[in-house]
Structure 1
């Protein structure tokens, strides 16, 4: 699997989880621990950036899911 495909799949999964929770990108950014901009959520969900493992952990925490559910 290519890096770009993995980023796209991961981003779509985050988007799916966020929408299942009834959250907007702004809502999710506000729930993520620490400073986190809405544009970062957008870039991650569209697969345009490579988030760190810690960022993915923070997103999972904000979505109230286990990290493995993102993958």
Structure 2
């Protein structure tokens, strides 16, 4: 699996969880501890940027889910 594929899958998972919880991107940023550029959430969800593990941790906290739930993806069998 390519790096870009992984980033897209993680971003898609974050977006799915956020929508399930009825949270907008702006609300997610507001719930996160520390400073984050609101457009960064959009880039993460689109798979256009590689978030740090700490950023993923803060997103998980803001969504009230375990960190592993953001990155629980199946590897391809290439």
Q: Report the TM range for the smaller structure's normalisation.
A: over 0.9
CA RMSD of aligned residues (A): 0.5
Q: What TM-score results when the alignment is normalised by the length of structure 2?
A: 0.89
**1:37 CA drift (Å):** 1.9
Instruction: Give the match for residue 68 of structure 2.
Output: 68
Larger-gyration structure (1/2): 2
Q: What TM-score results when the alignment is normalised by the length of structure 1?
A: 0.97
**1:18 CA drift (Å):** 0.3
1:18 aligns with 2:24: no
Instruction: Give the match for residue 42 of structure 2.
Output: 42
Equivalent-residue separation in structure 2 for 1:2 and 1:21 (angstroms): 29
| Aligned length, in residue pairs | 71
Instruction: Give the match for residue 74 of structure 2.
Output: none
Deviations 1:3-52 (A, max 9, x none): 00000000000000000010000000111110112101000000000000
Unpaired runs of 5+ residues, structure 1, are: none
Unpaired runs of 5+ residues, structure 2, are: 72-78
